[in-house]
Structure 1
Amino acid sequence: MSSPASRFLALRLASGGLIALGSAMGIGRFVFTPILPFMVEGTGLTPAQAGQIATANFIGYLLGALAASMGSLPGSRRAWLLGALAVSGLTSMAMSFPAFSSFGTGVDVWLFSLLRFVSGLASAFALVFASALVLDRLAFLGRPGLSALYFSGVGAGIAFSAILVAVLNRTGASWDGLWNASGVATLIAAGAVALLIPGEDHKRAAPGSASSAPVRETPAARPGTPPALKRLILAYGLFGFGYVITATFIAVIIREAPALAGLEAASWLVVGLTAAPSIYIWNKIVQRIGGGRSIALACLLEAGGVALSVFSSSPVGILLAAALLGATFMGITAMGLMEARRLTRGDQRRILAVMTASFGVGQSLGPWFAGYLHELSGDFTSASLAATAALIVAAALTAPGGSRNGSRM
């Protein structure tokens, strides 16, 4: 039985990880969504330009995730985590520079894109190193169940960003002030993470834990990639495309519908509040119906939310769309990786890299595609329908993999 000291340390680590994910992902990566309507009004930013800026962030995240997974990086994992959080905060603050606020030549769009690209890199590094620090040590302390608290950080950060933007907007803050406040909040969070996550004194995992076992290549029973894994890789890319259009533009979609005026902050708050417990809930569903069927179910629910976001003209409908998005996107992200690990015969690091690349390509294409179609059609309906179709296809690809041998998250 664990001692009170080890239980306290485990809770401290999980709480520090929650704050790290909340600041790097919930704020640093996703705060663009609630701030975007105010940027559109204050700068003349078009949906196509907003899509380019969002795409730059997701490309940075993709490259950062792949780079951070390399085993040859110098320095400690804690230093990389704190450095990434600092960069995330500083790039958010840099988005507020007055020199970037005149859209005469279009140069500013590229500067915004560069800043969001670097912010994406920082978010990915923070996620990878926070996960390495927190999850390994929770396993060592015999408290792996606290990983659900850790993963709730993304939803908590999204909810915090919604409240922060709404409160500051009511005080008359401009779009650049919102970016400044977001950056300051991230830097304050980095200080809290530094206090809660100590140096790497507990590198050695507990005997018998997954991380203490030597890494061995699992020989393939036969050459080639299993068909179920091929389908999952494709489905993961379609999911990346399917979720990100609504996740990026939901506040703008609401702003363009007069009947939904004033619900931007509330919708984003609902996304965060439903995302926070979603990993825990989907873990229970995986144990009942298996990883493949759970992913398919989540994709279908999310497809309903994406379609509802553009077809509903009622406050209840748009908040339900936000709830369906929040309740599924983190769950699908985690379940996809865990199912890929279950289906892999060889080096699991390689398949995780392939899955990350597939997801990243779909996620990076989504905002650009939606912005371009908005210029042609004047709204986000066609882009959202394409996203809905992508999620339905993803569900069809993963549904056959319904074995109950899914791994816990």
Structure 2
Amino acid sequence: MMSDRSLPAPDRPWLVLFGLMLGVTVTNSFARFAYGLILPAMKTDMGWTYAQAGWLNTANALGYLAGAVVTMVLIGRMPVTRLFNFGLLTTALSLLATGWGTGMEWQSFWRIAAGFFGAMSFSTAGVLTARLFADDVRRSALAIALLFGTGGGMGILLAGAAVPLFLGRYGAEAWPTAWYVIGGLGAACVPWALWSAGKLHHPGTASVASGRLPLRRFLPLTFGYAGFGLGYIVYLTFLSAWMTEQATGPVGIALVWVVLGLAISASPFLWRGVFARFDSGVPLGLVLIGIALGSALPVILPAGPAILISAVIFGLCVFMSPGAVTHFVRRNLPPEQWGAAVSLLTVVFALSQTVGPLGAGLLADRTGNLGDSLIAASLLLLAGAGCAFAQRPINTTT
């Protein structure tokens, strides 16, 4: 069977990469994180507690977990391109459907669906991107970082610029229309992403892993990635709610999210040298320290420009975690095992992120302070960083 490394590189690889980035915009930024922008309006309009509000992102994470498991099973049996395309199309449809009903059951179903289908496309995007520059370490590291960083940052930037101002103008009861806006933006991204995936298509199924994954040899990285899943989602779920509690208006909320999106988009250029230099867990450990600092800063320094500084630090780091683990897999495992390893790590991440939003909401309801949840998330991220720093190269490819 033809291996990924033996596949010819497509024409115009950077245009192909941009299309894959648009896929991440839909399945990552819109399907997972746009909810944090709409959450305050939904909570106000329907009188939810923080636990109820957090539940909907936990529901999304549960769907993501199920989708990651299904993808891990199918990735050796179906072409990666087909999984990417199917997940992308159904995610865009799920986002549009979210605005059609207001009941908790309806919202839960479509948040689960968006997570399930989004996982199929998101976890295969990294495998497709790894094919673009298989023989060029530095360009491959940059491509993977751009996929997760700039691809995710574009969605945060677009949603952050539009949603808070829209809801500020039309009121909390307009939140269903905000989902139509997000779904429409997602649908607009689909054609280019499908074109890009088609450029990387090859006959037959994805390469099946040769031999068993050396899981024990990258357990520290796996635990570090679990720490990322537990902690990062709290900031992105409750950032707008935190600012609303601090009496920040729609313009201020939009500004912070735009800054966050710009920082995320710029993050690949900060980290590409680090990715190319290390084959160990050091990149993930450094990334997690940055996310922890960004999560805690608004609570430690609640006045002045701290929230903007927090958005910059958090944004420069947060979407580099998937890039860090994808790069580790690419540098330490043979191409035949890339898909299985990335899918396994995605399952671990998905399982851990199911706990974060609901747990943070319960803690905030119990203490009456969202800041306690942000601090708890920061501590979990630091624990994950400690695990990641313990990861050494495993060098199975040499």
Q: The TM-score by the shorter chain falls in which range? A: 0.7 to 0.9
Q: For the Cα contact (< 8 Å) 1:299–1:392, is it kept in 2?
A: yes
| Cα shift at 1:374 | 1.4
User: Matches of 2:272 and 2:153 in 1, distance apart?
Assistant: 16
SS of equivalent to 1:54:
helix
Change (3 A) 1:169 1:393: same
**What do residues 296-320 of structure 1 show as CA deviations (whole Å, max 9, x unaligned)?**
2222222111111323323510111
| Cα shift at 1:197 | 4.5
Change (3 A) 1:262 1:376: farther
Equivalent residue letter for 1:11: W
Name the counterpart of 1:38: 41
Q: For the Cα contact (< 8 Å) 1:240–1:362, is it kept in 2?
A: yes
Name the counterpart of 2:274: 285
Q: For the Cα contact (< 8 Å) 1:48–1:368, is it kept in 2?
A: yes
- Output the TM-score relative to the length of structure 1: 0.81
Q: For the Cα contact (< 8 Å) 2:75–2:340, is it kept in 1?
A: no
2:389 equivalent to 1:399: yes
| Cα shift at 1:116 | 0.3
Name the counterpart of 2:211: 217
User: Matches of 2:256 and 2:265 in 1, distance apart?
Assistant: 15
Name the counterpart of 2:4: none
Q: For the Cα contact (< 8 Å) 1:341–1:352, is it kept in 2?
A: no
Structure 2: stretches of 5+ with no match in the other structure: 1-8
Equivalent residue letter for 2:324: M
Name the counterpart of 1:3: none
Percent identity over the alignment is 23
Q: How many residues align?
A: 382
| Cα shift at 1:188 | 1.9
Q: For the Cα contact (< 8 Å) 1:263–1:315, is it kept in 2?
A: no
User: Matches of 2:329 and 2:13 in 1, distance apart?
Assistant: 28
SS of equivalent to 1:277:
helix
User: Matches of 1:400 and 1:78 in 2, distance apart?
Assistant: 34
Name the counterpart of 2:6: none
Q: For the Cα contact (< 8 Å) 1:64–1:121, is it kept in 2?
A: yes
User: Matches of 1:74 and 1:42 in 2, distance apart?
Assistant: 45
RMSD: 3.5
Equivalent residue letter for 2:318: F
Equivalent residue letter for 1:328: C
**What do residues 252-293 of structure 1 show as CA deviations (whole Å, max 9, x unaligned)?**
111111267742222222222111232343231244466333
- Output the TM-score relative to the length of structure 2: 0.83
SS of equivalent to 2:99:
coil
Name the counterpart of 1:185: 185
Change (3 A) 1:320 1:200: closer
1:45-56 equivalent positions in 2, closer than 5 A: 45-56=48-59
Structure 1: stretches of 5+ with no match in the other structure: 1-5, 101-107, 205-210
2:35 equivalent to 1:29: no
User: Matches of 1:197 and 1:404 in 2, distance apart?
Assistant: 30
2:124 equivalent to 1:124: no
SS of equivalent to 1:50:
helix
Name the counterpart of 1:322: 311
Name the counterpart of 2:256: 267
Q: For the Cα contact (< 8 Å) 2:41–2:167, is it kept in 1?
A: no
Choose the corresponding residue for 2:106, options 111, 129, 152.
111
Choose the corresponding residue for 2:380, options 390, 403, 408.
390
2:323 equivalent to 1:334: yes
